[in-house]
Amino acid sequence: MKYSDDFEKKPSEQKEEQNRVEAMLSDLDKDGINDLDQYVEDIRNREIDQTQRLSVQLKLVKDGRFAWLQKIGIILFWYLRPILYVIGEKTRSYFRFLLGVLAASWGVLVESISPITWRRTVKYEFKRSLGQVVCGGFFSTFFTATLAGLAVVSQAIFWLGAAGLTKMTGPILITILVREVAPILVGMILLGRNGILTVTECSLLAMGGQLKSLTVMGIDPFITIVLPRAWAFTIGSFTLGMIFGTTSLFMGYVVTYALGTMQDSIWTFYSNILAAMSVADYVLVPLKFIVMGFMIGVGSCITGMNVKVNDEPSTLLPKGFTRGIMLIMVVNILFTLDF
Amino acid sequence: MANKILLDIHQAKPSFDENYLPPVAFDLKVKAGECVIIECRDLEVATAFADLCSGMVALRDGKVLFKGLDWFDLKEPRLSALRGCIGRVFQKNGWMDMYSVAVNILLPSLHHTRIDEDKLVDQAMTLCRKFGLPGLPMDTAREATMIDLFRASCVRALLNNPDLLLLEYPAESSSAELMSPLLEMLNIAQNRGAGIICFTRQFSLWNDYKDRVTHWMRLQEKGLTSIRLG
């Protein structure tokens, strides 16, 4: 048992404390309490809690010139403490999650290089997940891209034409639609349709003990579940991103052509858009989709697998969603800084 | 073959805070071709002991060797590969709902071997028929009946001839019609040199197989004790 800190004071106090503790321990023995260490720890914690009361802390302030200032500080801190606690807890939680995602991402990259990783079970899960991501997200992406085409592309073409800035159509569409809007919307579709599904599946596997059963059978859940899903999300995100970009531009062109605003052929229109793209765009835009998909895949798996005993769908799914949104934003901001 | 020790649990004291096992030293040796029946009334303790045999329980003291290799000296991927040599019937949580039962059955063999998938399917189909299933069940575990799931778990455990069989309460989970194929398959497994550890609630359920049982043991609070049946 650890009493050393208390016994380093005066010998009389030391003896008094020792007697008090010994008396307490003998009482506990009589009561039949076995875990004395834990019991004493609880009592100490309670005593610490009591000393942290506001009135006790104010009394402890020594008289002096700046005592009143010190007391104001203690009162302010006392009332701010719950808010600070919440802010600190959330910040630490998200930071821990981000570090966890980075660590898992590194793990996925390292394991992916090894040829023994890509066994039949991993390939099976990869194909299944890729099918879910691409086929499941295709129609959502198509309709969102159509709406984006009608709302963003056609309006941009119309108003830029009205202002006599037709030449700016390409650069503006590239900047707004391809670089910024498309990755966020595709990320949201990916997260909503497949990320949350992955969170649910992984949490059910973790809570149901199937992850442990897999390990018992010699099947590493990280290799069999996280790794293939991360890559399926990556390829799926890139595919859906390309579908989104092409469809939204096409739909925008169709509407403006039908309204008579646009006179050029579709090929000229696409050619203008491509001409407005820089070399960096050709690299960074696909990379943004790829990194975003990868992070959503890893993040969803990690959120699902790290489920706590007291987690329920009502707490876990919002957690998965907010974490996914955070990852989308982080990736988006990082790539925006690069541009 | 007969004297080769498959599983050697030597003075293994499980870590107290990790599992349901009592904090006592466990000793057990299972040789190739032996069958050990362990009576244990507490299902959680039985699962924890099966986990101990698979190197899934952290130890405070002692060691657990499987095929001469200490579980805790091994690292991935050798650790997983060694676990792939064990066929296990789980009493619960053994099925992944996102896959069909057929995929669940084939999963360990597909993961650990390079045997042609068609051959594995044929082998699984043969075992399924032996256990009374018309073929590989394509439903998910949630849609399958309890008895079919038990049949399927036997097929999964026996598929690809594992070296050690860890069966959690197979006699309790099955009906009389299922015991016959199970005992027949256990007999075949024992003959080819597999070790078998079966958990049961009462020894009497294994009366039909007592000639082939090498050790009768009881798992209780005081640990694993050997029993001599009269």
Provide the mean pLDDT of chain B: 87
Rounded to an integer, what distance in angstroms lies between the CA atom of residue A168 and that of residue A176? Answer: 12
Spatial contact of B169 and B201, defined as CB atoms under 8 Å apart: yes
End-to-end Cα spacing for chain A: 59
Cβ neighbours for B108, distance < 8 A, ≥ 6 positions apart: A217, A218, A219, B84, B156, B159, B160
Residue in A116, A212, A216 nearest the CB of B77: A116
Better-scored residue on pLDDT, A244 or A164 = A244
- What type of residue sits at position A73? G
Rounded to an integer, what distance in angstroms lies between the CA atom of residue A306 and that of residue A321? Answer: 15
Structure confidence at residue A10 as a pLDDT band (50, 70, 90): low
Interface probe for A, chosen from B47, B57, B93 (most Cβ of A below 10 Å), is B93
What's the gap in Å between the CA of B77 and the closest CA on chain A? 9
Answer yes or no: is A301 within a domain: yes
Answer yes or no: is A246 within a domain: yes
One domain, residues A311 and A217:
yes
Residue A317, pLDDT score: 87
Residue in B88, B107, B112 nearest the CB of A216: B88
**For residue B59, how far is the Cα from the chain centroid?**
21
Residues in B closer than 8 angstroms to A116, CB to CB, are 77
Residues in A closer than 8 angstroms to B56, CB to CB, are 212, 215-216
Answer yes or no: is A95 within a domain: no
Instruction: Return the closest-CA partner of residue B86 out of B147, B168, B10.
Output: B168
One domain, residues A33 and A123:
no
Residue in A with minimal Cα distance to B78: A218
One domain, residues A185 and A293:
yes
Better-scored residue on pLDDT, A190 or B179 = A190
String of DSSP letters for chain B: -TT-EEEEEEEEEE-GGGSSS-SS-EEEEEETT-EEEEE-S-HHHHHHHHHHHTT-S-EEEEEEEETTEEGGG--TTHHHHHHTTEEEE-SSS---TTSBHHHHHHHHHHHH----HHHHHHHHHHHHHHTT-SS---SBTTTS-HHHHHHHHHHHHHTT--SEEEEESHHHHS-HHHHHHHHHHHHHHHHTT-EEEEEES-GGGGGGGGGG--EEEEEETTEEEEE---
Provide the mean pLDDT of chain A: 83
- Asked whether residue A296 carries a pLDDT value surpassing 90, the answer given is yes
Residues in A closer than 8 angstroms to B112, CB to CB, are 218
Instruction: Return the closest-CA partner of residue A111 out of A223, A232, A228, A233.
Output: A223
One domain, residues A162 and A302:
yes
Choose the weakest-confidence range: A29-38, A106-115, A273-282: A29-38
Question: For the whole model, what pTM was predicted?
Answer: 0.80
Residues in A closer than 8 angstroms to B98, CB to CB, are 201
Residue B172, pLDDT score: 75
What percent of chain B has a predicted confidence (pLDDT) above 90? 33
Q: What is the DSSP letter of A293?
A: H
One domain, residues A227 and A143:
yes
- State which of A51, A74, A90 marks the end of a domain: A51
Interface probe for B, chosen from A216, A224, A227 (most Cβ of B below 10 Å), is A216
Q: What is the DSSP letter of A222?
A: I
- Asked whether residue A8 carries a pLDDT value surpassing 60, the answer given is no
Structure confidence at residue B87 as a pLDDT band (50, 70, 90): very high
**Domain range spanning residue A19?**
4-51
Answer yes or no: is A78 within a domain: no
- Asked whether residue A297 carries a pLDDT value surpassing 90, the answer given is yes
One domain, residues A217 and A331:
yes
Better-scored residue on pLDDT, A3 or A87 = A87
Angle (CA) B192-B196-B199 rounded to 5° is 160
> Phi, psi (5° rounding) for residue B212?
-100, -5
Rounded to an integer, what distance in angstroms lies between the CA atom of residue A42 and that of residue B5? Answer: 49
Adjacent-strand bridge partners of B67: none
Residue B44, pLDDT score: 87
Structure confidence at residue A214 as a pLDDT band (50, 70, 90): very high
Number of structural domains chain A divides into: 2
Does residue B94 sit at the A interface (CB-CB below 8 Å)?
yes
Residue in A with minimal Cα distance to B48: A216
pLDDT, tens digit, for every residue of B2-20? 568 889 999 888 887 657 8
Cβ within 8 Å of A, B 179-198: none
Residue A298, pLDDT score: 94
Rounded to an integer, the average pLDDT of A284-308 is: 91
Rounded to an integer, what distance in angstroms lies between the CA atom of residue B23 and that of residue B9? Answer: 15
One domain, residues A285 and A155:
yes
One domain, residues A197 and A325:
yes
Answer yes or no: is A43 within a domain: yes
Rounded to an integer, what distance in angstroms lies between the CA atom of residue A284 and that of residue A151? Answer: 25
Answer yes or no: is A299 within a domain: yes
Rounded to an integer, what distance in angstroms lies between the CA atom of residue B168 and that of residue A273? Answer: 65
Answer yes or no: is A101 within a domain: no
Task: Please indicate whether, in this complex, the C-beta atoms of A220 and B80 are within 8 angstroms of each other.
Answer: yes
Answer yes or no: is A103 within a domain: no
Residue A154, pLDDT score: 77
pLDDT, tens digit, for every residue of A50-95? 666 777 777 777 777 788 888 888 888 888 888 888 888 888 888 8
One domain, residues A164 and A305:
yes
Residue B146, pLDDT score: 85
One domain, residues A176 and A273:
yes
- Asked whether residue A194 carries a pLDDT value surpassing 60, the answer given is yes
Does residue B88 sit at the A interface (CB-CB below 8 Å)?
yes
String of DSSP letters for A133-189: HHHHHHHHHHHHHHHHIIIIIHHHHHHHHHTT-GGGHHHHHIIIIIIIIHHHHHHHH
What's the gap in Å between the CA of A295 and the closest CA on chain B? 22
One domain, residues A186 and A38:
no
Spatial contact of B209 and B182, defined as CB atoms under 8 Å apart: no
Spatial contact of A176 and A339, defined as CB atoms under 8 Å apart: no
Residue with tokens 């599904």, as numbered in its chain: A197
Residue in B with minimal Cα distance to A220: B80
